[in-house]
């Protein structure tokens, strides 16, 4: 039995906690014993416990040595052999704790976000990540474009990094959507509106304000925007919507359980991020048969086949975003064709089981190395 500690920076909705959840419920329990640790700041904490897992509260995003010491104690108490970290805070505390205790560390980058630091701090952060990478058995990237950026920045570590593509289970998604779809009326959307939708943490890197601006530039009263999620940008975003006078045509749905259930209410999926790792929300939208208009950035480039499953537009350009949205709204046949092609692409290239199987191989190799 290989004992694995999944250490997360947050248990709020997002790519890292979602990947941990998928791994924890799909790894064979006859071979892997999974414990999850992280802050109790979101719904995934209880979801981990509902799977029958041990979920331990560790404030991995906080300052000070508390998280490091708690992680060291947890590793020793449970006989952990592999520590798999997700996110910056967990990546720091978890890999230091793994080195302290002599067990193998695996780290997944869910996007390489260093640009938000002030310019003098960026080289310090990248230098720290390079050092941590040298102490990591395997560095995992969730998309080829992210892996290429890591090589450019020197974050691959002493051994070659590995790309493990994120995936979704379309059969399971179809069952959830069919069992409890969310209607337009239930979401406060007009029956005759064309509805754009996005699912995201309200964070500056997601540039949700650009979606609001694009809706304004469209200047069409029959188009609405559904924003699913929440986060630190929520108050500022609501003020921006109020200032534009868009009113009821921008609907804030908050975090929803199984947000893919909104797909029947949407005509088009939109994403304005400045950077992604590999966006599961876009994969779910494509899997639901929706065409996508997204920004031409890492992560989106790996998912959206331009002209086949959707369109990519320059990041930060709300007018270009509006033009792309308008072009597809005005061509329902093309939009439907892209939606069918997107679902086929997800089924073919972004299935969940290969992600689980490849990660299991990494855990086996990491556990073997910690025994030597």
Tokens of 212: 């609001």
For a pLDDT cut of 70, what percent of the chain falls above it? 97
CA dihedral 331→209→279→321, nearest 10 degrees, is 30
Q: Which fold has domain 170-349?
A: Rossmann fold (3.40.50)
Q: What letter would DSSP give residue 327?
A: H
Dist CA 202 CA 293 (whole Å): 18
Phi, psi of 230 (to 5 degrees): -165, 175
Of the listed ranges 124-138, 154-168, 183-197, 287-301, the one predicted with least confidence = 154-168
User: pLDDT tens-digit profile of 270-281?
Assistant: 999 999 999 999
Of the listed ranges 93-97, 159-163, 178-182, the one predicted with least confidence = 159-163
**Domains 2-167+352-371 and 170-349 belong to one CATH topology:** yes
Confidence label for 157 from pLDDT (cuts 50, 70 and 90): low
**Mean predicted confidence (pLDDT) in 233-239:** 95
Residue 207, SS3 per DSSP: coil
pLDDT at residue 14 in the model:
87
User: pLDDT tens-digit profile of 46-84?
Assistant: 999 999 999 999 987 766 788 999 999 999 999 999 999
Under a CB-based contact definition with an 8 Å cutoff, are residues 133 and 147 in contact? no
Confidence label for 159 from pLDDT (cuts 50, 70 and 90): low
Tokens of 305: 């086949």
For a pLDDT cut of 90, what percent of the chain falls above it? 83
Pairing of strands 310-313, 250-254: unpaired
Q: How much helix, strand and coil, in percent to the nearest 5, is found in the chain? A: 50, 20, 35
Other C-beta atoms closer than 10 Å to the C-beta of 309 total 23
pLDDT at residue 154 in the model:
87
DSSP bridge pairs for 137: none
- Architecture of the domain defined by 2-167+352-371: 3-Layer(aba) Sandwich (3.40)
Dist CA 41 CA 235 (whole Å): 19
Where do the structural domains in the chain lie, given as residue ranges? 2-167+352-371, 170-349
- For residue 108, what is the enclosing H or E element? strand 104-109
User: pLDDT tens-digit profile of 19-51?
Assistant: 999 999 999 999 999 999 999 998 999 999 999
Beta-carbon contacts of residue 13 (< 8 Å; ≥ 6 apart): 42, 43, 44, 201, 229, 255, 259
Confidence label for 15 from pLDDT (cuts 50, 70 and 90): confident
The rounded mean pLDDT for the chain is: 93
User: pLDDT tens-digit profile of 125-147?
Assistant: 999 999 999 999 999 999 999 99
- Quick one: which of 301, 224, 316 has its CA closest to 265? 224
Dist CA 152 CA 144 (whole Å): 12
Beta-carbon contacts of residue 315 (< 8 Å; ≥ 6 apart): 207, 272, 273, 274, 295, 296, 297
- Quick one: which of 189, 191, 163, 214 has its CA closest to 325? 214
pLDDT at residue 331 in the model:
97
């Amino acid at each position: 039995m290989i004992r694995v500690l999944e250490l997360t920076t947050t248990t709020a909705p997002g790519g890292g906690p979602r990947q941990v959840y998928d791994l924890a419920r799909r790894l064979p329990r006859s071979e892997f014993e999974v414990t999850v640790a992280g802050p109790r700041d979101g719904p995934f904490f209880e979801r981990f416990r509902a799977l029958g897992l041990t979920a331990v509260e560790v404030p991995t995003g906080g300052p000070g040595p508390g998280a490091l010491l708690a992680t060291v104690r947890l590793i020793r108490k449970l006989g952990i052999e592999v520590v798999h970290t997700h996110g910056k805070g967990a990546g720091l505390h978890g890999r230091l704790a793994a080195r302290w205790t002599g067990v193998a560390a695996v780290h997944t980058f869910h996007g390489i976000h260093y640009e938000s630091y002030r310019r003098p701090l960026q080289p310090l952060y990248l230098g720290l990540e390079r050092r941590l990478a040298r102490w990591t058995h395997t560095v995992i990237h969730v998309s080829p474009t992210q892996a290429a950026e890591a090589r450019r920045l020197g974050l691959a570590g002493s051994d070659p990094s590995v790309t493990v593509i994120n995936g979704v289970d379309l059969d399971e998604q179809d069952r959830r959507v069919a069992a409890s779809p969310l209607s337009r009326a239930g979401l406060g959307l007009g029956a005759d509106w064309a509805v754009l939708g996005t699912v995201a943490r309200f964070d500056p890197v997601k540039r949700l304000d650009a979606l609001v601006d694009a809706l304004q530039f469209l200047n069409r009263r029959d188009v609405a925007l559904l924003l699913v999620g929440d986060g630190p940008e929520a108050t500022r975003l609501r003020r921006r919507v109020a200032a534009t006078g868009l009113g009821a045509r921008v609907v804030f749905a908050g975090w929803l359980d199984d947000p893919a259930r909104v797909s029947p209410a949407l005509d088009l999926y939109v994403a304005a991020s400045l950077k992604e790792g590999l966006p599961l929300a876009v994969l779910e939208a494509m899997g639901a048969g929706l065409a996508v208009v997204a920004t031409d950035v890492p992560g989106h480039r790996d998912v959206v086949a331009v002209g086949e499953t959707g369109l990519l537009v320059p990041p930060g350009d709300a007018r270009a975003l509006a033009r792309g949205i308008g072009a597809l709204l005005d061509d329902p046949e093309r939009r439907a064709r892209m939606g069918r092609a997107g679902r086929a692409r997800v089924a073919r290239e972004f299935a969940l089981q290969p992600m689980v199987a490849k990660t299991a191989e990494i855990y086996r190799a990491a556990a073997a190395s910690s025994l030597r």
